[in-house]
Amino acid sequence: MMVWVIVAVVVIAVIIFLVTRKPSEPALPEAKKPEALEPKEKPARKDDVLDALVPRPAKTVKETPSARREEPREEPRPREEAPAAKPSERPKPALEEDFGKPAVFDPATVRKGLARTRGGMIARLRDLISGRKVVDPALLSEIEEVLLTSDVGVKTSQKLIQRLHERLERNELDDEEKVWAALRAEAEAILGAGGRLKLRTKPTVVLMVGVNGTGKTTTIGKLASKLKAQGKSVILGAGDTFRAAAVQQLEVWGEREGAVIVKGKEGADPSSVLFDAVTRAKETNTDVVLCDTAGRLQTKTNLMDELAKIRRTVAKALDGAPHETLLVLDATNGQNAIQQARLFMETVPLTGIVLTKLDGTAKGGVILAIADELSLPVRYIGIGERAADLREFDAAEFVEALFAGRDAVSNEAA
C-alpha cells in the first residue's frame, strides 16, 4: 500500500509540476504578443494619422498660394464679363469709332465743320459786301451789326470796325476784295497764337475744367487719342467722382486708346483721385496726365472752392503742376461762355480754351470774342463728333477755312 501511495504522490507531483509549467509558458508568449502587436499597430496608426494630416498642411500651406493664384484667374472672368456688358454702353460714345492719327489740316473738312457759322455770319457779310461799288462808313456800320448778332461781342466788334475805319481813311478799302482781305487780317490778328499743348515736362499735367454739359470728358478722350497717336503715354485721372457715366466713358476711351485710368469709388474725394493719378504718372514715367473734373456752375461758390483745392492738391503731388488748365466752353452758349470763363478765371488761373460744338451753331463768331476779351489762347476747337474732329487751333488755318469759298456758303449751310 505504501508503494502505491508513494507512486500516487509522485504522479500527482509530476502532474502538478507539468500543470504549473504549461501556464507559465503560454503566459510569456501572450505577454510578448501584446508587446509585438502594439508597436506594429501603433506605427500603422501613426501612418494613418500622418496620411490624414499630409493633405491638411497641403491645403493650408501649399494649396493657399495655388488657391490665391486661381482667385486672380477667377477675377478676370468677371472682368471679361464686364467688357461683355460694355458693348451695350459703347454705343453712347460710339460717336468716336474712328481713331486714326491726328488729321493734317484739311480746309475742306474744317469748312464743313464750320458750315453753320459760314451760312450765318459769313453769308450775311457776303450779302452786304458783294457788288458794293462804294465802301463807306455806312457799310462798316452794317458789318458791325452782323458781327454783333453773330456773338462776336460789343467790345470785339467795335475794335474790329475801328480798325476797318482806319483802313478806310487810308484809302485801303477801295473795293470788295480789299474789304474781305481786311476782315480776314483783323480776325486773324484777334485770334492770335493758340495751338496745341506744349509738353515741356514729364509728366505734363493737364487739368480740364468747365460747367456741366460742355463736353469735358469727351474732349479728354479725344485729346488722349491724339496724344497716343503721337506716341505719348497717357494716364486719365477720373476726377469726376459724382457722375458714374463720366468714369465709364473714360474707361471706354482708356481701353480703346491703351491709356491707363486712375479712378476712385463713386463719391470719392476728387483731389485724392487726381493726386494718385499724378503720383502714378511720376512712378511710371508717363508723358501726360489728363485730369477730368466734375462739371460745376460758375455761380456755385463751394464747387469753385473745391476746384481751387484740386489744383493745390495736384501741385503737392508734383511741383509746378498743373502745367495746363484748360477751360472747356460750349460754342452754342454764345456770350454766356465768356461770362463763364471770367468767373472761372477768378478761381483758377487758366492757360487756354477748348471751344467745343462749333459745328452746332451759326454763332461761331464767339471765338473772336473769347480770344479778344479773355486774352487766352484757343488750344483746340471741336467741329464734329469724331476724335479727329478735335482740331489743334491755328488762327491762320481757321480764318482760311472760315472765309474761303464765300460763294459756296449758302449751299454748305443748306
The answer to whether the Cα torsion of 124, 130, 132, 135 is positive or negative is positive
Positive or negative, the CA dihedral 56, 57, 62, 64 is positive
pTM of the model: 0.72
Does the pLDDT value for residue 336 go beyond 70?
A: yes
Q: Any idea which residue has 487780317 for its cell?
A: 185
Nearest to 183 by CA among 408, 399, 25: 399
| Phi, then psi, of 324 in degrees rounded to 5 | -135, 135
Q: Following DSSP, what letter does each residue of 266-330 receive, concatenated?
A: TT--HHHHHHHHHHHHHHHT-SEEEE------TT-HHHHHHHHHHHHHHHHHSTT--SEEEEEEE
- DSSP states of 77-91 as a string? HHHHHHHHHGGGTTT
Strand partners for 290: 206, 236
pLDDT at residue number 15: 75
Asked whether 383 and 358 are in contact (CB, 8 A), the reply is: yes
* Lowest mean pLDDT across 2-6, 207-211, 281-285, 399-403: 2-6
Asked which of 195-199, 225-229, 343-347 is least confident by mean pLDDT, the reply is 195-199
Q: Which of 358, 371, 197, 382 is nearest to 290 (CA)?
A: 197
Q: What is the per-residue pLDDT across 337-386, written as a single tens digit (0 to 9) for each?
A: 999 999 999 989 999 999 999 999 888 899 999 999 999 999 999 999 99
Question: What pLDDT does 119 receive?
Answer: 87
Domains of the chain plus CATH, in order, are: 30-90 (no CATH), 204-413 (3.40.50.300)
CA distances from 377 to 80, 341, 364 (A): 43, 13, 16
Closest among 208, 218, 181 to 93, alpha carbons compared: 218
HSE-CB of 179 using CA atoms within 13 angstroms: 21
Query: CA 97, CA 91: separation in Å to the nearest integer?
Result: 9
Q: How confident is the model at residue 405 (pLDDT cuts 50, 70, 90)?
A: low
In total, the chain counts a number of residues equal to: 414
Query: What whole-number distance in Å separates Cα of residue 378 and Cα of residue 191?
Result: 8
